[in-house]
């Protein structure tokens, strides 16, 4: 069965294809000319569902979408659903902004969150969530990954997401956990 992923990111498509392929699901990318809906939700789950429904409506295929971000406890969960647009500029600018906002904070606990929404051909709607706990560093470490990875320290591994090999990150990350939760739900529904 073909599922469309509401994203043009080939890395995400490949990671999803690997895990959902075990259920006989083929994951295809969203066509380039598909509309990009506004993410007006108040939660990761709502924004993921907005994207999944839009992709399902446009393609006529069952659809999957994810929405993710970094939630920092000392900042009341910010940047949260606004992680990609926390401030103008590059990933590096956003990291500098976050380090600055956290300068006086002693509580460094934070987590990456990923919600995945799925719309099935019979209209069933599914959402799952994966989280990964960490601590926010005061300066970047590691050149791997993307986004806030170099600031996100994982105590169990003694290093940041930016320092972990990609396959290890995929095993413990919020996205990997959400994907495996989705697989568990889907195996009883399709
Ligand atoms: P998206 O939902 O995948 O587009 O991610 C939203 C934003 O959250 C990204 O632009 C990053 O700033 C942040 N983010 C989500 N997942 C990760 C991750 O695994 N590492 C670093 N940053 C992430």
Does residue 22 have a pLDDT over 90?
A: yes
- pLDDT tens-digit readout, 43-83: 999 999 999 999 999 999 999 999 999 999 999 999 999 99
Does residue 189 have a pLDDT over 90?
A: no
Residue of 48, 64, 70 to mutate, ligand 1, most atoms within 8 A of C-beta: 70
pLDDT at residue 164 in the model? 96
d(CA 163, CA 53): 35
Ligand 1 centroid to residue 122 C-alpha, Å: 30
Q: List, in order, residues 6 or more apart from 2 with CB less than 8 Å away.
A: 25, 26, 27, 28, 61, 62
- pLDDT tens-digit readout, 80-137: 999 999 999 999 999 999 999 999 999 999 999 999 999 999 999 999 999 999 999 9
Residue of 68, 95, 117 to mutate, ligand 1, most atoms within 8 A of C-beta: 68
pLDDT at residue 173 in the model? 96
Give the pLDDT mean for 173-178: 96
* Nearest protein Cα to ligand 1, atom 15: 69
Percent of the chain whose pLDDT exceeds 70: 100
Q: Are strands 63-72 and 109-119 parallel, antiparallel or unpaired?
A: antiparallel
Average pLDDT over the chain, rounded to an integer: 96
Does ligand 1 come within 6 angstroms of the Cβ of 149?
Answer: yes
Contact 170, 112 (CB under 8 A): no
Global pTM reads: 0.96
106 carries an active-site annotation? no
Q: Please spell the DSSP secondary structure of 74-129, one letter per residue.
A: GGTT-BGGGGGGSSSS-HHHHHHHHHHHTTT-S--EEEEEEEEEEE-TT--EEEEE
Does residue 141 have a pLDDT over 90?
A: yes
Please report which confidence band the pLDDT of residue 190 belongs to, taking 50, 70 and 90 as the band edges. confident
């Amino acid at each position: 069965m073909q599922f469309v992923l509401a994203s043009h990111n080939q890395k995400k498509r490949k990671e999803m294809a690997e895990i959902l392929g075990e259920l006989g699901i083929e994951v295809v990318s969203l066509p380039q000319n598909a509309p990009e809906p506004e993410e007006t939700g108040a939660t990761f789950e709502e924004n993921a569902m907005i994207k999944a429904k839009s992709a399902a409506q446009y393609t006529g295929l069952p659809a999957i979408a994810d929405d993710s971000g970094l939630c920092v406890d000392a900042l009341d969960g910010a940047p949260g659903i606004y992680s990609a647009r926390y401030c103008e500029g590059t990933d590096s600018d956003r990291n500098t902004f976050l380090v600055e906002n956290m300068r006086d904070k002693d509580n460094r606990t934070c987590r990456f969150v990923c919600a995945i929404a799925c719309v099935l051909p019979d209209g069933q709607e599914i959402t799952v969530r994966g989280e990964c706990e960490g601590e926010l560093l005061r300066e970047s470490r590691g050149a791997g990954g993307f986004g806030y990875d170099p600031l996100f320290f994982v105590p169990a591994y003694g290093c940041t997401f930016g320092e972990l090999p990609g396959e290890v990150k995929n095993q413990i990350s919020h996205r990997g956990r959400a994907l495996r939760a989705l697989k568990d739900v889907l195996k009883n529904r399709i």
